[in-house]
């Protein structure tokens, strides 16, 4: 019985060390909205598989913020989107960490969900250029859909364009309302 207890304890310590290392090397953005662990398990599994496959994961750890700012500025210009709006999303979603994975499985600088990345043609969401390109393109589409209204574009970025249409404005979801407020505040400071 003592051997089984020692083995269980050793396994728990090992798992704890592995989890600590993985969360240090590949951080998951803190969950403000108490998503259930199993709620987005599939998307998180896909996100980690894509991260492990990405040749950018090693380079991203030391990527200077200035390089990310350049990517944001260049990409925003290509799509005619306010660079401060794109930067505000990057700051809120990832804090300039290209290897970010959220508890919902959103990936990279602009927190693209696996399905969204696929639809946008982003083959490696941990490639900073591809990630920002997909996110900025999505913001441009949302701005066009909502007559240039950045609040509605941000709501669509968080909850989906259909939810914004269904509620004829920012959907009354705590997460979306706070997202629009927080990202909007960052945008206003730019």
Closest listed residue to residue 171, CA positions, set 187, 182, 160? 160
- The sign of the dihedral angle between the CA atoms of 165, 167, 169, 174 is negative
Write the CB contacts of 184 (distance below 8 Å, at least 6 apart in sequence). 88, 150, 151, 154
Q: Is 141 an active-site residue?
A: no
Whose tokens are 């259909």? That residue is 162
Q: Is 175 exposed, middle or buried, given 0-12, 13-18 or 19+ CB atoms closer than 10 A?
A: middle
Q: CA 96, 69, 113 angle in degrees (round to 5)?
A: 45
What residues does 107 pair with on adjacent strands? 101, 112
Residue tagged active-site, from 39, 66, 77, 93: 93
Kindly list the catalytic residues.
Answer: 93
């Amino acid at each position: 019985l003592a051997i089984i207890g020692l083995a269980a304890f050793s396994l728990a310590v090992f798992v704890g060390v592995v989890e600590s290392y993985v969360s240090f090397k590949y951080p998951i953005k803190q969950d403000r909205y108490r998503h259930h662990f199993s709620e987005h398990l599939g998307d998180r599994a896909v996100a980690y598989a894509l991260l492990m496959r990405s040749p950018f994961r090693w380079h991203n750890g030391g990527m200077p913020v200035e390089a990310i700012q350049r990517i944001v500025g260049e990409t925003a210009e290509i799509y005619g989107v306010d660079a401060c709006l794109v930067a505000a999303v990057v700051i809120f979603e990832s804090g300039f960490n290209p290897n970010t994975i959220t508890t919902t499985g959103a990936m990279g600088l602009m927190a693209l969900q696996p399905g969204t990345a696929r639809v946008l043609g982003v083959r490696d969401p941990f490639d900073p250029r591809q990630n920002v390109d997909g996110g900025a393109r999505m913001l441009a589409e949302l701005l066009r859909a909502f007559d240039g209204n950045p609040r509605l574009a941000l709501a669509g970025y968080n909850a989906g364009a259909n939810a914004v249409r269904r509620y004829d404005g920012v959907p009354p979801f705590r997460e979306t309302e706070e997202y629009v407020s927080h990202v909007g505040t960052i945008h206003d400071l730019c």
